[in-house]
Amino acid sequence: MVQPSEPEFEQALNEVYSTLKASSLFEKEPKYLKVLDVVQIPERIIQFRVVWENDNHEVEVNRGYRVQFNSALGPYKGGLRFHPTVNLSILKFLGFEQIFKNALTGLNIGGGKGGSDFNPKGRSNNEIRRFCYAFMRELSRHIGQDTDVPAGDINVGGREIGYLFGAYKQIRNSFEGVLTGKGLTWGGSLIRPEATGFGLVYYVEQQIKYATKGKEDFTGKRVAISGSGNVAQYAALKVIQLGGKVVSLSDSKGTIISEEGVTAEQIAVIGKAKIAFKSLEEIIKDPAFETHPVKYIAGARPWIHVGQVDVALPCATQNEVSGDEAKALVAAGVKYVAEGSNMGSTQDAIDVFEGERLATKSASAPAVWYAPGKASNAGGVLVSALEMGQNSQRIQWTSEQVDSELHKRMINLFEESIKYATQYSKESNKESLPSLVMGANLAGFVKVADAMFDHGDVWA
Ligand code: GLU
C-alpha cells in the first residue's frame, strides 16, 4: 500500500468525501462533483521561519504556517496551534475541517488554520512572549480583520493571544479585531473561553433529546471526557451543572478516573495548573483531590478504563480514539459520542460507531450515535464569529446574550445536520438514527459549494 504523504489531511478528506459519495447528493445534483477537485486545494499557504531568542540568549528557530484554505463564506477563520507535531498535513486537515465547521455556524467565516512546531512546554513566560512576537512579525503581513482572523488552538490560549495581539498592534499600528479569544477589556467576548466546551454539551443535549424523544437529559449520566485543557474543562463544568457525572479526564501523560465524579473545585484547580503546563499526576496532589480521591493511570487514555458510561466526549487531540477503544466504549454501554477535539476518532473508530448506529433494530432500542467534531465542537469558532461581530460594532454583549446565541445556534446546527442526513441518505434501515457525520458534511459542503459557484471559483 502506498503510504499517504499527508496522512492526517488525507484522512480528513476521505471522511468528508466518502460520506458525500455515500449520499444521493451527486446523483440528484451532479454539478457538486466538480467542487470536490477545487475545494481540496487551499487558496493559499504561507510558510515562514521564526527566529527568536531564548532565556540563555541563544538563537532558536521554528517553522511557522498559515493555511488560508477557503474564503467563500468570509475571511479565513481558524486557530493557531503551537505543538511539536505541527506540520502541513496536520494544518491542512485542521483547515479543511474548519471550512465546513465554520459554514455550519451559519455565520460569515471562511476556513483557515495555522501555527508552529514550537513547543511551549517548559518555556518561561518571557520565552513565550518573545516567540509570539517573532511569529507575528511575519504573520502580521498576511492577516487582518477582513482578511484572516486567527484564534487559539492547542497551547494557544488567552496569554498567547495577548502577546500576538500586542505584536500585531505594534507592527501594523492598528487596533482591530484581528484575533479572537482576546482579553475582556480589549475586545474579547464573554463566554469565548467557555464556548467550545459549553457548545459541545448543548449539542449532546440535543442528541439525547432527539434519540429519547425528549424523555432523557444529562441527569445521572456517566460521562467520560479525555483531555484537561480549555475544551475538556468547560465541557466537564457544563455536564456537572446539568446533573451528569464526569468520570474521567486525561493529559498526554495519563488519565484520572473518578468513580464519584470530578468536582467543579477540582476542575478549577486543573485549569489554573494547566496554564503552567503541570501534569495531572502532579495536580492531583492538591488538597482538592483529598476529599474526593481519583485513580491515576499513567500512560493511558480513558476509554478502556472508564467502566460503564453513557456519553464519551473526546476533548484532547486528533486520532485519540482507536477502533479497539471504540469497541470498548460500545461494550461499556456508550450511547452518545461527540468530539470536542478535531477529528478525535480514527476512521476505524468512526466505522465502529456508525456500524452500531446502522445495526439498530428498532427505534426504541439503544444505538450509538456519533457526532464529528466539525459539528459538535463548532461552538468555539461560533463565539469567535460573534466576537468579530462585537468588534465591528465596537460593543460588548452580556454573557447571557452570548450564551443564548451559542445555545440557539448549536440547536440550529444539529437540526441542519439531521435535515441534510434525512434528505440525502440512501441507508435502508429506517429504524436507525440519521448519520450526523453525513449530515454535517453535507450541510457544510453544500453551503460552501453554492458560494463558490456564485463567486465563479467553480462553474457548472
Ligand atoms: N481552534 C478552534 C477550532 O478548532 C477555534 C477556532 C477559532 O475560534 O477561530 O475550531
Other C-beta atoms lying within 10 Å of the C-beta of residue 435: 27
Ligand 1 pocket residue status of 79, Cβ below 6 Å: yes
Ligand 1 contact, 230 CB (< 6 A): no
Identified catalytic residue from 92, 113, 335, 447: 113
Q: Tell me, using a 6 A CB cutoff, whether residue 344 lines ligand 1.
A: no
Segment 303-307 long-range contacts (CB within 8 Å, at least 24 positions apart): 303/224, 303/226, 303/328, 303/329, 304/328, 305/248, 305/255, 305/257, 306/222, 306/224, 306/247, 306/248, 306/257, 306/332, 307/222, 307/247, 307/257, 307/332
For domain 40-176, is the CATH number 1.20.120.1460? no
Q: Candidates 83, 381, 387: which one to mutate for ligand 1, based on the most atoms within 8 Å of Cβ?
A: 381
Q: What percentage of the chain reaches a pLDDT higher than 90?
A: 96
- Do domains 40-176 and 196-373 share one topology? The answer is yes
Please name every residue paired with 387 in a beta bridge, in sequence order, or none if there are none. none
* Residue 77 Cβ < 6 Å to ligand 1: yes
What does the alpha-carbon distance between residue 212 and residue 338 come to, in Å, rounded to a whole number?
Answer: 17
Q: Contact at 8 Å (CB) between 238 and 230?
A: no
Mean pLDDT of the chain: 97
Q: pTM of the full predicted structure?
A: 0.97
Query: Is 187 close to ligand 1, i.e. is its CB under 6 Å away?
Result: no
List binding-site positions. 77, 98, 101, 152, 196, 230, 384
342 has pLDDT over 80 = yes
The amino acid that residue 455 corresponds to is: H
Contact 273, 282 (CB under 8 A): yes
**Average pLDDT value for residue range 336-341:** 98
Residue 278 known to be catalytic: no
Whole-number Å distance, alpha carbon 78 to ligand 1 midpoint, is: 5
Residues in the chain: 460
Which residues face 288 on adjacent strands? Answer: none
Cα gap 49→201, rounded to integer Å: 39
Superfamily of domain 196-373: NAD(P)-binding Rossmann-like Domain (3.40.50.720)
Regarding the beta carbon of 188 and ligand 1, being less than 6 Å apart is answered no
Chain Cα centroid distance, residue 25: 26
221-260 tens-digit pLDDT: 999 999 999 999 999 999 999 999 999 999 999 999 999 9
User: How many CA atoms within 13 Å lie on the side-chain side of 131?
Assistant: 27
Strand partners, 337: 312, 370
Interatomic CA distance for residues 24 and 443, integer angstroms: 13
- Closest ligand 1 atom, residue 101 Cα: 10
In tens, the pLDDT along 357-389 reads 998 776 666 689 999 999 999 999 999 999 999
The angle subtended at Cα 187 by Cα 181 and Cα 191, nearest 5°, is: 50
pLDDT in tens, 297-321: 999 999 999 999 999 999 999 999 9
**pLDDT, tens digit (0-9, with 9 covering 90-100), for 249-299:** 999 999 999 999 999 999 999 999 999 999 999 999 999 999 999 999 999
Q: Please state the domain extents for the chain.
A: 40-176, 196-373
Choose among 287, 221, 289, 222: nearest CA to 256. Answer: 289
Please identify which residue in the block is written with the cell numbers 446539568.
242
CA–centroid distance, residue 208 to ligand 1 (Å): 25
Q: Is the CB of 384 under 6 A from ligand 1?
A: yes
- Which three cell numbers, joined as nine digits, stand for 327? 469497541
Question: What is d(CA 19, CA 199) in angstroms, rounded to the nearest whole number?
Answer: 24
Bridge partner residues of 81 (DSSP): 115
Please state the rounded mean pLDDT for residues 107-124. Answer: 97
Cα 215 to middle of ligand 1, angstroms: 33
| pLDDT confidence of residue 124 | 97
Q: What percent of the chain has pLDDT over 70?
A: 98
Do 330 and 305 contact (CB within 8 A), yes or no?
no
**What are the CA-CA distances from residue 353 to residues 41, 138, 156, 344 (Å)?**
29, 43, 31, 13
Compute the distance from residue 388 Cα to the ligand 1 centre, in Å.
13
Atom index in ligand 1 nearest the CA of residue 381 equals 8
Whole-number pLDDT of residue 438: 98
Return the ligand 1 atom nearest residue 149 CA: 9
* pLDDT of 2: 67
Distance 261 CA to ligand 1 centre (A): 28
Look-up of cell digits 429519547:
212
Distance, in Å, from the CA atom of 353 to the CA atom of 292, rounded to the nearest integer, reads 33
Residue holding cell 502532579? 282
Residue 363: per-residue pLDDT: 63
Q: Name the nearest CA neighbour of 75 among 167, 173, 176, 157.
A: 176
Which three three-digit cell numbers place residue 251? 493529559
Determine which residue's CA is closest to atom 8 belonging to ligand 1. Answer: 381
Per-residue cell: 257? 478516573
